[in-house]
Structure 1
Amino acid sequence: MSINRVNYAHLLTKPNPKHLDSLMRFFDSGKLQPSEFGYGVEIEHLPVHNGDDSAVTYWEPNGIETLLKRLSPFYDKEGEYWENGHLVGLNRDKVNVSLEPGGQVECSIGIFHAPDDFNATYESFRGQVDHIADELGFRLVNYGYQPVTSFSDIPLNPKFRYEAMNRYLGRIGSYGPMMMRCSASTQVSIDYTDEGDSIRKMRVGTAIGPIIAWFLRNAPYFEGRENPYPLLRQRMWDFMDPQRTGIMPGLYSPNFSWETYAVDVLSTPLLFADLTHTPEKKDSVPDGHVIAWHENAAEIYPDRALNQYEINHVLSMHFNDVRMKNFLEFRHWDSLPEDRARRLVDIMFSLYYNAENLGRLTSYFDGLTQLDVEAAKSAIQANGAEATPYGQPMEFWQEFLGLEGLLSDTPGDQRHPDVFQA
């Protein structure tokens, strides 16, 4: 997939050295000692009507906008986020509520420093939001894709970036509008000690992420029918936009570095530019939003060091399997209910924060190439439970990665009993 990127990247303006330095400093700011390591969890929820399990949209009466307004007294007033005159986000200590394009409700929680810290905070969020949603006639479910409603029947929420992303991703890939409107994920973020540690964790995480995703898969439905894909989320992202998704190009090269990652991000068209925190653009771009399908950061942002808001936006327009910020964000998994999300946290702690386990994985995958990882992903997608990624059966990986007790049978068995009884 990286070939497509190389073919036309030379047509773009080279990264601005000041921007490159900004990203390098940002990555460096994330270095922590192991005693300081924490984690964050993002869970996206699909809103469905109680009567027929169809999708609840942002705009409908008693829909997602109403939910946020009813939920807002539980959050900090100064943490509210509005766009186009509509409420689209809430914030309080350790909890941020935001919206994905189709009105999926995302709960980002952390930073936590022990696995046990997850449950109480998430349960508090669910206790408040579930009560309000029930009064409005709907509920939030944890699936990787809407159980009944087609993407074509779900309007976008009012956030500026999603209109640009919809127009762009709808033209270059097979699943862009579907992913945006109907999918939901669970993501876990972890820390690193230095550049080498971050790259080691990125490589291991990219290699084993699809395997863990198989055992945690939670997308029994696709476009109102039984999902035919062993890994629907991977299927959508692998056919999305090769210049900003999938495996980070060069990740398994001995010369890969933070600079490699930063150059790649800064060389890629932004798709959408958020200039709301760029003072120099206040007069020329009053609303602070620009579609940038062809322009990279050097062509949009001023010739100076990027501020943290700008850095976060630039990095957020890349969607690799493992994303680099001033922490590492692992993005492989479908939306998971609380017990399975907690199990995922336990797995992440065991594999990445246990030096012996991380060393074992690093040694096992020594010499791995990007083609090896692509082959493993394809094998799981093609053969499911019969796949042998990296030459080993799924039973081996279940034991090797500590995944005992997780799903290993057919996607149909993932159905929640109270959703979509066909």
Structure 2
Amino acid sequence: MARDQSDPTPIESRAELVAWFEKGCKPESDFRLGTEHEKFGFYAYDHAPVPYDGPRGIRAILEGLQARIGWEPIMDGEAIIGLADPLGGGAISLEPGGQFELSGAPVATLHETRSELAQHLDALDAVAAHFGIRFLGLGHSPTWTRAETPVMPKQRYGIMRRYMPTVGSRGLDMMFRTSTVQVNLDFASEADMTRKIRVAVALQPVATALFANSPFTEGKPNGFKSMRSEIWRDTDNNRAGMIPFVFGDGMGFERYVDYALDVPMYFVKRGDHYHDVAGASFRDLLDGKLPQLPGERATISDWANHLSTLFPEARLKRYLEMRGADMGTSDMVVALPAFWVGLMYDAGALDQAWQLVKDWTDEERQALRDAVPRQALAAPFRGRTVRELARDVLAISTEGLKRRAKVEGGQDETAYLAPLQEIVETGRTRADVLLERYAGEWGGSVEPVFETNVL
């Protein structure tokens, strides 16, 4: 998330929380896609992580980028923690361990996503190269211990760092050692949102398998194809996971509001200060009965900020976020939105995808989710493998992109699915390729990944 919200408009009722979601509905002609990705900075000469402070640290990169691209600084106290496009486009932010994130602007086509990514990486490289810094596209940091990983100076992360170990065993690993790529997509109505979030949650494990790219931890294979996805299985199950309620009768904005109200809060932001209320109920804040802040009432920004602390496999805000994929190299960054846009932004494709998943049970969806971190495309499902399932889903996405017919330079958007087509055809994820090279030409060393997976 680029920055926390600061809208002081008071909220008086649960109905207003539902109305907040309803305002996200827009006509199909206004649909946009926004791609977000995180990457690990490292020093080229020794592959060490990049701290925040110092003449060659992350702060120096942010300041250099600010001077280069003219975006406005996002501050947390005296610390610059990101940059925002003053024209309302994209934003740059920092994840807890220094993962450098671009939250892309809402754009109309995947061609624009590709151009945005190239421009961002060119600008970042122009600044970072001066400091001997490069960026790594993996779903999990491959060599650094948690103790070696830097800590970013953001108040909300301090609150999360204290709270996470009380609700799961892997929360700190999630914060400091994982990176993802995701896409944010629009919906036209409550019914459209419901259809899309159901397809998104059901097929998120397929995306996890296709994008599996985190097989190393602390310099050796960790036994998983997607360690990032495995970590999420025990981070905080009150706010993460496969949210089976979305498949129940009566799913809609109101049902998601009730889910969000049941998830404990992290913080309440007032001015520039983050009040630690970890474990408290948003219902108490709504009623003015929060023990840590007696008499304080909920605002629009409190609601938006609280929603940003929910981490299901697909997340609802005023748009839908697809959250199942490991970060990868540049071609995979664009392949992720291509995969989901093909499924979600063509009515025929969305219907085909729904027909594919509509009779899956809660138990089947969960079993699929549990299997793919370790097995990826080889995971079993209904007498087949995820590879075979992924082939079917990818075919639906391809046809959806063809029907969108967004052409630039004689090329439609299906070209961005090429890396996924190769993965399905060969049965080898990016994690499989890395493990093969580790066991072969790399001679049991992880260090070459700092050359092969550079953005």
The answer to whether the Cα contact below 8 Å between 1:151 and 1:178 also exists between their aligned partners in 2 is yes
Instruction: Determine which of 282, 285, 291 is the counterpart of 1:300.
Output: 285
Q: Which amino acid aligns with 2:391?
A: E
Instruction: Determine which of 38, 41, 45 is the counterpart of 1:44.
Output: 38
The answer to whether the Cα contact below 8 Å between 2:210 and 2:377 also exists between their aligned partners in 1 is no
Which residue does the alignment assign to 2:422? 405
TM-score by length of 2: 0.81
Q: Alpha carbon RMSD of aligned pairs, Å?
A: 2.3
Q: Does 1:376 align with 2:368?
A: yes
CA, structure 1 residues 379+104, in 2 after alignment: closer, same or farther (shift >3 Å)? closer
Post-superposition Cα deviations, 1:142-177, rounded to whole Å, max 9, x if no partner, equal: 111112211122232111000110111123212111
Q: Secondary structure at the match of 1:203?
A: helix
> Which whole-Å CA distance do the structure 2 matches of 1:187 and 1:386 have between them?
23
**Offset at 1:383?**
3.6
> Which whole-Å CA distance do the structure 1 matches of 2:379 and 2:212 have between them?
15
Which residue does the alignment assign to 1:81? 74
Which residue does the alignment assign to 1:321? 313
The answer to whether the Cα contact below 8 Å between 1:81 and 1:87 also exists between their aligned partners in 2 is yes
**Offset at 1:387?**
1.6
Q: Does 1:275 align with 2:270?
A: yes
Which residue does the alignment assign to 1:130? 125
**Offset at 1:417?**
5.3
Where do 5+ consecutive residues of structure 1 fail to align?
1-15, 277-286
Q: Does 1:63 align with 2:57?
A: yes
Q: Does 1:366 align with 2:358?
A: yes
Q: How does 1:218-297 map to 2 (within 5 A)?
A: 218-276=213-271, 287-297=272-282
CA, structure 1 residues 115+53, in 2 after alignment: closer, same or farther (shift >3 Å)? same
> Which whole-Å CA distance do the structure 2 matches of 1:113 and 1:311 have between them?
28
CA, structure 1 residues 395+217, in 2 after alignment: closer, same or farther (shift >3 Å)? closer
Q: Secondary structure at the match of 1:347?
A: helix
> Which whole-Å CA distance do the structure 2 matches of 1:33 and 1:45 have between them?
33
The answer to whether the Cα contact below 8 Å between 2:266 and 2:277 also exists between their aligned partners in 1 is yes
TM-score by length of 1: 0.87
Q: Which amino acid aligns with 1:40?
A: G
Q: Secondary structure at the match of 1:229?
A: coil
The answer to whether the Cα contact below 8 Å between 2:139 and 2:179 also exists between their aligned partners in 1 is yes
The answer to whether the Cα contact below 8 Å between 1:84 and 1:158 also exists between their aligned partners in 2 is no
The answer to whether the Cα contact below 8 Å between 1:55 and 1:148 also exists between their aligned partners in 2 is no
> Which whole-Å CA distance do the structure 1 matches of 2:95 and 2:189 have between them?
32
> Which whole-Å CA distance do the structure 1 matches of 2:199 and 2:349 have between them?
11
The answer to whether the Cα contact below 8 Å between 1:142 and 1:336 also exists between their aligned partners in 2 is yes
Which residue does the alignment assign to 1:20? 14
The answer to whether the Cα contact below 8 Å between 2:216 and 2:222 also exists between their aligned partners in 1 is yes
Q: Secondary structure at the match of 2:422?
A: coil
Worse-superposed segment, 80-89 or 248-257: 248-257
Instruction: Determine which of 183, 205, 209 is the counterpart of 1:188.
Output: 183
> Which whole-Å CA distance do the structure 2 matches of 1:190 and 1:237 have between them?
22
> Which whole-Å CA distance do the structure 2 matches of 1:338 and 1:300 have between them?
42
Where do 5+ consecutive residues of structure 2 fail to align?
1-9, 289-295, 395-419, 438-446
